[in-house]
């Protein structure tokens, strides 16, 4: 478990950096993952710009969003979003809250994002809205109280994402990689839908198309392929170093040492 846990934490840090590079996250927004050995805990970075997150920035929390160890760093104010969703949805393994420019027009106008191209099916056929003001009146729009997090989780229900009126969106996934692809494809879909509105009425995918195309987006080979692509875009220098190292010719002395082992 320790090695697997370290790998998961490194993957979570990379997910933050990928979503920062792809424009889903900016200085704000955050990604978390449920503890693989203890479903009553989850991992979330300290309060820092997502594009800079490293494994050392990852903190561990209970589902009440209380840190396991007293932190010496600032924590995200909206971490209850993650804890409350994990409490309500045992099937959810990863959560992303963001304010991507692509989805904000829909969150502001209260208009639904519907799948309009095949990869857009990753977000599902329907996406509910949650308006914080309906239940809590005037707030600063941050989701910081447990009752606010529970309300958001109820609005999410069994869907893959929920739009938050005048605020942003929250997306869930069964793995970190699925969450990352769903978050990015959802933003791409929103961009295409908005552009299509300039030409007329967008034609959304049929019900059967959403199911079939959505299943393809979750296939392991597709998830791996997109993860590799986004990783290379987010960290071209490190990828180039790894590629150069693997392509470096092995000396005769090194080959002899390897044979003697």
CA gap 78, 136 in Å, rounded: 16
pLDDT at residue 220, rounded to an integer: 87
- What are the backbone angles phi and psi of residue 54, rounded to the nearest 5°? -125, 165
pLDDT at residue 217, rounded to an integer: 85
How many alpha carbons fall within 13 Å on the CB side of residue 120?
A: 22
Answer yes or no: are the C-beta atoms of 124 and 214 closer than 8 Å. Answer: yes
pLDDT at residue 236, rounded to an integer: 75
Known catalytic residues are: 78
Residue 28 φ/ψ region, left for φ over 0, alpha for ψ in the -120 to 50 degree band, beta for the rest: beta
Contact partners, residue 178, CB within 8 Å, separation at least 6: 94, 218, 223
Distances from the Cα of 60 to the Cα of 31, 76, 82, angstroms: 13, 12, 12
Continuous segment of H or E residues that includes residue 93: none
CA gap 11, 13 in Å, rounded: 5
**Which residue, 178, 179, 186, is CA-closest to 224?**
178
Token pair, residue 219, equals 């296939």
pTM for the predicted model, two decimal places: 0.88
CA gap 46, 59 in Å, rounded: 6
Answer yes or no: are the C-beta atoms of 47 and 32 closer than 8 Å. Answer: no
Looking at the domain that runs over 2-260, which CATH code has it been given?
A: 3.40.225.10
Question: What is the length of the chain?
Answer: 261
SS3 content of the chain, % helix, strand, coil (to 5): 50, 15, 35
- How would you write the pLDDT of the chain (261 residues) with one tens digit per residue? 458 999 999 999 999 999 999 999 999 999 999 999 999 999 999 999 999 999 999 999 999 999 999 999 999 999 999 999 999 999 999 999 999 999 999 999 999 999 999 999 999 999 999 999 999 999 999 999 999 999 999 999 999 999 999 999 999 999 999 999 999 999 999 999 999 999 999 999 999 999 999 998 888 888 999 999 999 999 874 444 444 444 444 445 555 555 555
pLDDT at residue 255, rounded to an integer: 54
Distances from the Cα of 245 to the Cα of 81, 238, 251, 254, angstroms: 41, 11, 13, 14
How many alpha carbons fall within 13 Å on the CB side of residue 6?
A: 2
pLDDT at residue 184, rounded to an integer: 97
pLDDT at residue 11, rounded to an integer: 98
Radius of gyration for the chain, computed over Cα atoms and rounded to the nearest angstrom: 20
DSSP code at position 129: E
């Amino acid at each position: 478990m320790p090695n697997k846990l370290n790998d998961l934490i490194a993957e979570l840090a990379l997910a933050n950096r990928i979503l920062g590079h792809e424009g889903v996250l900016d200085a704000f927004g955050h990604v978390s993952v449920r503890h693989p050995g203890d479903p009553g805990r989850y991992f979330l970075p300290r309060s820092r710009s997502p594009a800079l997150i490293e494994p050392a920035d990852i903190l561990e929390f209970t589902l009440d969003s209380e840190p396991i160890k007293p932190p010496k760093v600032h924590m995200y104010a909206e971490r209850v979003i993650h804890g409350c969703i994990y409490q309500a949805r045992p099937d959810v393994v990863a959560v992303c809250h963001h304010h991507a420019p692509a989805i904000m027009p829909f969150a502001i106008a209260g208009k639904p994002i519907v799948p309009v191209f095949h990869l857009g099916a990753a977000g599902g056929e329907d996406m509910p809205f949650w308006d914080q003001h309906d239940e809590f009146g005037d707030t600063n729009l941050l989701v910081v109280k447990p009752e606010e997090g529970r309300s958001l989780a109820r609005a999410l229900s069994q869907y893959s994402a929920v739009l938050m009126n005048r605020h942003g969106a929250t997306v869930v996934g069964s793995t970190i990689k699925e969450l990352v692809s769903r978050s990015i494809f959802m933003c791409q879909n929103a961009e295409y839908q908005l552009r299509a509105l300039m030409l007329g009425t967008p034609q959304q995918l049929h019900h059967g198309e959403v199911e079939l195309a959505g299943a393809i987006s979750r296939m392991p080979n597709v998830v791996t392929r997109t993860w590799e692509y986004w990783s290379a875009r987010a960290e071209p220098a490190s990828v180039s170093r790894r590629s150069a190292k693997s392509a470096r010719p092995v000396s005769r002395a090194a080959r002899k040492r390897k044979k003697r082992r």
